[in-house]
A and B are shown apart, each in its own frame.
Chain A
Amino acid sequence: MSGATLFSVSFDIGSAILRGIASVFPMPESGWITNPDVILGLSAVIFAAILLAASMLNTILLIWWERKLLGRIMDRRGAMHVGYAGLLQNFADGLKLFRKNTVQPREADSLGFYSGPVTYMVTSLIIFGILPISSGWNGGALPLTLLLALAIFSFAPLFIFVSAWSSNNKYSLMGGMRSAAQMIAYEVPILLAVVAVVIVSGSFDLTTIVYEQQNYWFWGPLFVALIVFVAGMLAEMERIPFDLPEAEAELVEGWNTEYGGMLFAFFMLADYLRALIGSILVVLLFLGGWTLPTWVPSGLTTFPLAGIFWFMVKTYAVFGLFVWIRASLPRVRTDQLLRVGWNRMIPLSLLAVFLAAVLVTVKCLPVFGCVPSAGGM
């Protein structure tokens, strides 16, 4: 990993600030300011702040992208008037929600009612700390990033269910139950699809997985796993056709029916954060992350921050696919969703695992080339 990483940049900023402060004061008394642990602590805070700002900015851009794309598909224009091409519309909407009063139903359980949205949001944000964005631009180079990300990702049903139950509303409760059933049902195929990727790449580290895709991206050989993963992610993100927990036709707004103002904004932002995470995971696991194929002219990959640029292009393209699906498919029913999940998705994901094992054993494929040396058992 050459060049600056996000953490090294934060560390430089933090130490520069602290050394600047220390230079003003007499040295012996203020020696604790330049203590390495203090610098490390401050740089961790700066690192987190940069990540927070970047992820929130991207989430809001994602909402804009969805609104515009959805609008075009529906033969209209989407947000137009606030900012250039409606870019600032979502900020205006956010400010409006921020100003609104938070109404808590009288019979609601305060602890669950307020902690639900907050924990839902926080757990979604934590994942950004471990997702690699480009070479070196990742938080901690942990050996088990993928596993950790998926583990945190699967916390959500608990918090949704807690907030739904605490709202003391029948629609919320039904939405919460649907959400829990749906997420648990689709957790299994997602994990099995990921196992297929892990078998081929031989690592749980997302950075390694991306570098294992230098010969070919995994979407081709692991196409079955990709299908399972995308379908499962659609269910996890609760988007059409799997948006039953908040099916507005029958359940008003599902598990967040009773939430308004900033608490609703938390849910909404966390939903889009999860959509962003889902798209990022698809890009990392199947579409080669920030790398481009070797036959691409080198001018496209050598400009500054090229990795991040291509990463974002891919992420937004994958999310565009989700939007396209949303615009053109009707919603399925709960029993149909669960039947598809248990009876179709899990066998399909087992098939994907089997195919991955075959791929590792065969080593080389006619069109795609060979499995990287590091892969396999």
Chain B
Amino acid sequence: MSEMWINMGPQHPMTHGLWNLRVKLDGEIVVDVDPEIGYLHRGIEKISEDRHYNEVITLMDRCCYVAGFSWEHLYILAAEEALHLAPPERAEYLRVLCDEFQRIGSHLMWYAAFVQDIGLMSPFLYGMRDRDLVLDLYQSYTGARMTYEYMRVGGVRNDLPPGFSAEARQVLDWLSRRFDEYDQLTLGSDIFRKRCDNLGILKANDCVAHGVTGPMLRSAGVKRDLRKDRPYSAYDRVEFDVAVADGADVTARYLVRLEEMRQAVRILRQVLDWLDKNPGPVMAEELPRWLGAPYAPIGREGYLLKRNFPKGVGFSAVEEPHGEAVAYVVNEGGEHPYRVKFRSPVFSNISAARKYLIGYHVADIPPIMGSVDICIGEVDR
């Protein structure tokens, strides 16, 4: 068979999200690949310039639909720096709680999709079942399962409901037992090891050259985690280990993500302990009057606001479930951010596709792309 291009996408079972992977095949061997993105572009950065600081949070949930909390957190950190605000300590712990539950939820979603890609049917359902427990927890304190709009500039919207801690601990106990079961279903299977070992190798040098971050970088043996290297919120006050593997292949990425979920459980137990012992306010006391206003102050008030409020620039970087996300918020005075800019980790991870796809079989594309953990919402924004 001569070489041919096939389009894997935009509607294709391999693409988790709306994107297109053009693949050039020689028989069953991948000769060339060309990822095409942009199908989900909504102009979130531009829309943000026309919204109040707190209204941008709504867009952040839509940025990455499986890791909404992480993106809210990312934006909030930058916005607070730009507005010269600081949240109370309890709010910071609550944000870490959100982040780590989100990490578990996102990785469970990844697990379900990934095992489905290599044909494992039951673990797909197991992953979704256990993710539902995490979603129930979100629902109990934010009211939503997917688009939470929970964090606010200067704190978080509300405190946890009574009884949350006990419920969350139950879920954590259940989950930490399930992780071993996941390992049995995948690592315990010879076929899985045959499919995933030495597959989609991306060495540390190439990761750095392409800006690949997150579990993919850590699976190549690089011990880099923004939660440790550039601690934000309460991450410098909790104990955890950075998950690292050294295979640089699909199995290594699997191991890293599973270990991250176990570490997240460890972090969450500490955070819940702290939250149980330290009640307090969850919003900053001194907030600009207009921050929560639904409409922009106009006339003289608006003029004074623009003139008097101190300008500023905010930069933040968080360790999102997919990798390192960066936000940049410019405050030129007034109620809208002047400019909002994000760096999506998955964008860089997809861009390196030529490095880790060429030379493998066409049947290897789904597991490799599955191990990258793609969220197109944040790539296209």
Do A and B belong to a common assembly? yes
Identify the A interface with B (CB < 8 A). Answer: 70, 73-76, 170-171, 174, 177, 240-241, 243-244, 247-250, 252, 326-336
B363 and A250 contact, CB distance less than 8 A: yes
A333 to B364, CA, bound (A): 8
CB distance from A252 to the nearest CB of B (A): 6
Chain A hits for B14, CB < 8 A:
249-250
CB distance from A339 to the nearest CB of B (A): 10
- Cross-chain contact of A332 among B121, B122, B125, B191 (Cβ < 8 A): B191
A76 and B125 contact, CB distance less than 8 A: yes
CB distance from A330 to the nearest CB of B (A): 4
A330 to B120, CA, bound (A): 4
Encode B1-36 as 1/0 by CB contact (under 8 A) with A: 100101010001110000000000000100000000
Query: In the complex, which residue of chain B has the Cβ closest to the Cβ of A169?
Result: B6
- Cross-chain contact of A330 among B8, B12, B192, B365 (Cβ < 8 A): B192
CB distance from A208 to the nearest CB of B (A): 38
Query: In the complex, which residue of chain A has the Cβ closest to the Cβ of B367?
Result: A249
Chain B hits for A250, CB < 8 A:
8, 13-14, 362-363, 365-366
A329 and B361 contact, CB distance less than 8 A: no
B121 and A74 contact, CB distance less than 8 A: yes
5 interchain residue pairs of minimum CB distance = A331-B119, A249-B366, A74-B125, A330-B118, A330-B120
- Cross-chain contact of A74 among B6, B118, B122, B364 (Cβ < 8 A): B122
B13 and A252 contact, CB distance less than 8 A: yes
B189 and A334 contact, CB distance less than 8 A: no
Q: Give 8 A-B contacts (CB < 8 Å), ordered by A residue.
A: A74-B125, A170-B4, A174-B28, A248-B13, A250-B13, A250-B366, A331-B118, A335-B28
A330 and B125 contact, CB distance less than 8 A: no
Chain B hits for A73, CB < 8 A:
122
Most chain B CB within 10 A, of A174, A241, A248, A249, is at A249
Indicate if B195 sits at the interface (CB-CB under 8 A). yes
Most chain B CB within 10 A, of A170, A244, A329, A336, is at A329
Known: A240-B121, A243-B119, A326-B121. A333 touches B363 (CB 8 A): yes
Question: Which residues of B103-140 have CB atoms within 8 Å of chain A's CB atoms?
Answer: 115-122, 124-126, 129
How many B residues are at the interface, by size bracket? Answer: 20 to 34
Indicate if B194 sits at the interface (CB-CB under 8 A). yes
Encode B339-381 as 1/0 by CB contact (under 8 A) with A: 0000000000000000000000111111100000000000000
A76 to B120, CA, bound (A): 16
A249 and B129 contact, CB distance less than 8 A: no
A177 to B6, CA, bound (A): 16
Query: In the complex, which residue of chain B has the Cβ closest to the Cβ of A248?
Result: B13
Chain A hits for B116, CB < 8 A:
249
Indicate if B185 sits at the interface (CB-CB under 8 A). yes
B361 and A335 contact, CB distance less than 8 A: yes
Chain B hits for A171, CB < 8 A:
6
A331 to B191, CA, bound (A): 7
A336 to B118, CA, bound (A): 14
CB distance from A78 to the nearest CB of B (A): 11
Chain B hits for A76, CB < 8 A:
125
A342 to B360, CA, bound (A): 22
A73 to B185, CA, bound (A): 13
CB distance from B6 to the nearest CB of A (A): 5
Known: A241-B119, A250-B14, A329-B120. A75 touches B126 (CB 8 A): yes
Specify the main secondary structure of chain B where it touches its partner: helix
Chain A hits for B122, CB < 8 A:
73-75, 327-328
A177 to B331, CA, bound (A): 60
A327 and B363 contact, CB distance less than 8 A: no
Known: A334-B363, A335-B361. A329 touches B6 (CB 8 A): no
A249 and B121 contact, CB distance less than 8 A: no
A75 to B112, CA, bound (A): 14
B363 and A244 contact, CB distance less than 8 A: yes
Chain A hits for B1, CB < 8 A:
177
A330 and B189 contact, CB distance less than 8 A: yes
- Cross-chain contact of A241 among B8, B126, B191 (Cβ < 8 A): B191
Most chain A CB within 10 A, of B12, B124, B126, B185, is at B12
A334 to B362, CA, bound (A): 10
Known: A240-B119, A250-B8. A329 touches B191 (CB 8 A): yes
A328 to B126, CA, bound (A): 12
A171 to B363, CA, bound (A): 12
Chain A hits for B367, CB < 8 A:
249
Question: Which residues of B187-235 have CB atoms within 8 Å of chain A's CB atoms?
Answer: 189, 191-192, 194-195
Query: In the complex, which residue of chain B has the Cβ closest to the Cβ of A327?
Result: B122
Chain A hits for B12, CB < 8 A:
252
Chain A hits for B8, CB < 8 A:
250
Chain A hits for B192, CB < 8 A:
330
B191 and A170 contact, CB distance less than 8 A: no
- Cross-chain contact of A328 among B6, B118, B185, B365 (Cβ < 8 A): B185
Query: In the complex, which residue of chain A has the Cβ closest to the Cβ of B119?
Result: A331
Extra 15 A-B pairs, beta carbons < 8 Å, given A248-B13, A331-B118? A74-B125, A75-B126, A241-B119, A250-B14, A250-B365, A326-B121, A328-B185, A330-B118, A330-B186, A330-B189, A330-B191, A331-B119, A331-B191, A334-B363, A335-B28
CB distance from B33 to the nearest CB of A (A): 13
Chain A hits for B366, CB < 8 A:
249-250
Most chain B CB within 10 A, of A73, A243, A331, is at A331
Query: In the complex, which residue of chain B has the Cβ closest to the Cβ of A178?
Result: B28
Known: A73-B122, A170-B6, A249-B118. A334 touches B361 (CB 8 A): yes
CB distance from B11 to the nearest CB of A (A): 9
Chain B hits for A170, CB < 8 A:
4, 6
A248 to B121, CA, bound (A): 12
Chain B hits for A74, CB < 8 A:
121-122, 124-126
CB distance from A171 to the nearest CB of B (A): 7
Query: In the complex, which residue of chain B has the Cβ closest to the Cβ of A249?
Result: B366
B195 and A333 contact, CB distance less than 8 A: yes
A170 to B12, CA, bound (A): 14
Query: In the complex, which residue of chain A has the Cβ closest to the Cβ of B120?
Result: A330
A336 to B361, CA, bound (A): 11
